[in-house]
């Protein structure tokens, strides 16, 4: 009796050493011996040309007795309803009939196990991606992973303005302090915002309202947090320039009082730019709506 998880995870480890994109670990079914097909479905590292908010890369690892592999992605509500109606074996056949066959593996392990990969785009809402490994006769194994894609709605177009610091401005490489962008809000969480493509195609800057609000000479505002992000800037030989709000840097949420989204959709963010070796500068970035 051989442990299928041992072989499949072993193959994933070999692929990691070979520098094939890393997967998030998600445990699948366990048939219990190597005479049955086995499949493990994971999300994987997404290519730079894709949008992580609505695109997902998926990896399917199967054992050496698998003769064919199919996958299907559908809304999670549809998946749950269909699975309940058809049962697992019926749903496996549904995937075979209505899904897509994976025919070209990206790698083969020392025991004959194989890896398949695909990228799914423009998924908005809650999706379930199901993989089915078929063996001889009626033997099969089914495993799935989930993905929630976010649709972002435009709030207002405008201009993002960097703090007045020559090191930050030079490293960012915009040719000045400002860049055109669009402020957007998440369709599934009205507290989440982003500056679209601020650092290049599909490279956005995100922030999240924290529930606090106030008023100053510029008007009523809502406060927010901004976690660490990689920017498009390179700071000499020190590597990619990062940004985070000062509250994240200091580990003190009270500094979020300096991050303000005003009612006219202008933004003031108290941020730090840094590299792993240390701080470059801190101060106020801003967004100015049209």
Give percent above pLDDT 70 in the chain: 88
Sign of CA dihedral 46, 76, 142, 69: negative
Ranking 74-88, 96-110, 197-211, 243-257 by mean pLDDT, the lowest is 96-110
Give the pLDDT confidence of 174-216 residue by residue, as tens digits. Answer: 999 999 999 999 999 999 999 999 999 999 999 999 999 999 9
CA distances, 63 to each of 2, 5, 14, 125, 133 (Å): 12, 9, 14, 31, 9
- Tell me, rounded to whole angstroms, the distance of Cα 151 from its chain centroid: 13
103 and 171 together in one domain:
no
If you average pLDDT over residues 70-83, what whole number do you get?
A: 98
Considering its fold, how many domains does the chain have in total? Answer: 2
The residue among 34, 58, 60, 202 whose CA lies nearest residue 119 is 58
Joined tokens for residue 270: 């108290």
143 and 163 together in one domain:
no
13 and 110 together in one domain:
yes
If you average pLDDT over residues 225-252, what whole number do you get?
A: 97
For residues 5 and 158, the model is more confident at 158
Give the pLDDT confidence of 33-69 residue by residue, as tens digits. Answer: 468 999 999 999 999 889 999 999 999 999 999 999 9
43 and 131 together in one domain:
yes
- pLDDT for 21: 37
- pLDDT for 104: 85
- pLDDT for 4: 43
200 and 175 together in one domain:
yes
- pLDDT for 34: 61
pLDDT at 250 over 50: yes
Domain residue limits at 236:
152-289
66 and 51 together in one domain:
yes
- pLDDT for 20: 34
176 and 200 together in one domain:
yes
Ranking 16-20, 87-91, 199-203, 268-272 by mean pLDDT, the lowest is 16-20
């Amino acid at each position: 009796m051989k442990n299928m998880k041992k072989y499949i995870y072993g193959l994933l480890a070999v692929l990691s050493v070979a520098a094939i994109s890393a997967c998030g670990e998600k445990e699948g079914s366990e048939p219990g011996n190597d005479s049955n097909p086995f499949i493990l479905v994971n999300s994987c590292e997404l290519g730079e040309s894709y949008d992580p908010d609505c695109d997902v890369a998926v990896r399917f690892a199967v054992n050496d007795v698998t003769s064919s592999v199919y996958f299907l992605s559908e809304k999670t509500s549809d998946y749950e309803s269909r699975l309940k109606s058809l049962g697992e074996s019926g749903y496996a056949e549904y995937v075979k009939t209505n899904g897509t066959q994976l025919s070209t593996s990206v790698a083969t392990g020392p025991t004959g196990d194989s890896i398949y990969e695909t990228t799914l785009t423009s998924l908005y809402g809650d999706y379930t991606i199901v993989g089915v490994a078929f063996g001889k006769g009626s033997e099969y194994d089914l495993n799935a992973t989930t993905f929630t894609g976010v649709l972002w709605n435009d709030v207002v177009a405008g201009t993002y303005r960097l703090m007045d610091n020559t090191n930050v401005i030079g490293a960012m490489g915009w040719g000045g302090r400002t860049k055109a962008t669009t402020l957007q809000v998440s369709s599934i969480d009205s507290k989440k915002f982003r500056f679209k493509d601020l650092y290049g195609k599909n490279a956005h800057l995100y922030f999240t309202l924290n529930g606090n609000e106030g008023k100053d000479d510029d008007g009523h505002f809502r406060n927010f947090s901004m976690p660490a992000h990689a920017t498009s800037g390179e700071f000499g030989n020190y590597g990619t320039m990062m940004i985070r709000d000062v509250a994240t840097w200091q580990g003190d949420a009270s500094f979020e009082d300096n991050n303000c989204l005003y009612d006219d959709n202008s933004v003031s963010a108290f941020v730090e730019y840094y590299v792993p070796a240390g701080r470059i500068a801190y101060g106020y970035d801003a967004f100015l709506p049209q």
